[in-house]
Structure 1
């Protein structure tokens, strides 16, 4: 049994990720003010690539699987778009946080993320297991939008 089978551990990881994402936007925007927006995105992804490489080497214990090229070739085309989507996210936060503030920008991003995540679940986009978009999820969506409005206004 892996520690990743523990729901509480995974929830704690998600809390850390949420804090990291909220911090990342503000940090990237500040770097953009000093280096320029485009270069700050390059710096973010370069340092992120190094950190990801270190994690991957730890994960595979320094020995990549021998069939790695075959495994990667079997991935659907859209599985290769994560880096581009990440770049879009970073660039958007660099551009929007100085104008909207970290709270408003992050609230809009999280709201959109939550709503589209429910759509992904309901329509099984990206081969995600089905989870119905229920009345309760719909009410939560309205609540999310209301929260964004309050954060943006006050």
Structure 2
């Protein structure tokens, strides 16, 4: 049952990312095409929401005991998250939400398989099997068809 809930949670997260890109790109347009400012506002609201929920639910004693013991690389997540939000705000109106999300997914899967296969960042090692590479290749072909299908059809017709 947990795996079903985790799967649904991940799918909902993916839905949220697409909505976020569209909503934040419209915020940027409403602010005079300022994707950096829109990203900052979005990230600030998100941090505020997480902070309020964290106040109620987090074990702050454990946080206090461990926060100073973290290696520097563990603090990069916020930087990467901010970069993701900015990139989605900047690219969604230029490439379309679907294209941006498709590219994000391919990038996530490729880097995720790399991290898993090498056990980077202290993650458990999960071998990159041939079927995983084949599945990623099929998705890459799908991305090419999705993004360039119209041009391919026009080339075939001429």
TM-score norm. by structure 1 comes to: 0.89
- 2:22 aligned residue (22, 26, 39): 26
Residue among 11, 25, 37 paired with 1:39? 37
Once superposed, which parts of structure 1, at least 4 consecutive aligned residues long, lie more than 3 Å away? none
Q: How far 1:55 sits from its partner (Å)?
A: 2.0
Aligned twin of 1:145: 140
Preserved contact between residue 103 and residue 151 of structure 1 (Cα < 8 Å): no
**For structure 2, which runs of at least 5 residues remain unmatched after alignment?**
150-158
- 2:70 maps to what in 1? 75
Number of aligned residue pairs: 147
In structure 2, C-alpha distance between the alignment counterparts of 1:37 and 1:122, rounded to whole Å: 35
1:87-126 Cα distance to aligned partner (Å, 9 max, x none): 1111111111111101111100111101110111000011
Please state how far the C-alpha of 1:69 moved relative to its aligned partner: 3.1
Q: Does 1:131 align with 2:135?
A: no
SS at the partner of 1:133? coil
Shift of 1:51: 0.8
Whichever of the two has the greater Rg, that structure is 2
Deviation at 1:76?
Answer: 2.1
**1:14 aligns to 2:14 (yes or no):** no
Matched, 1:55 2:45: no
User: Between Structure 1 and Structure 2, which shows a larger proportion of helix residues?
Assistant: 2
Classify the secondary structure of the residue corresponding to 1:130: coil
Over aligned residues, Cα RMSD in angstroms? Answer: 1.5
| 2:117 pairs with 1:111 | no
The whole-number CA distance in structure 1 between the counterparts of 2:90 and 2:44 is: 19
2 CA distance for matches of 1:110 and 1:22?
Answer: 11
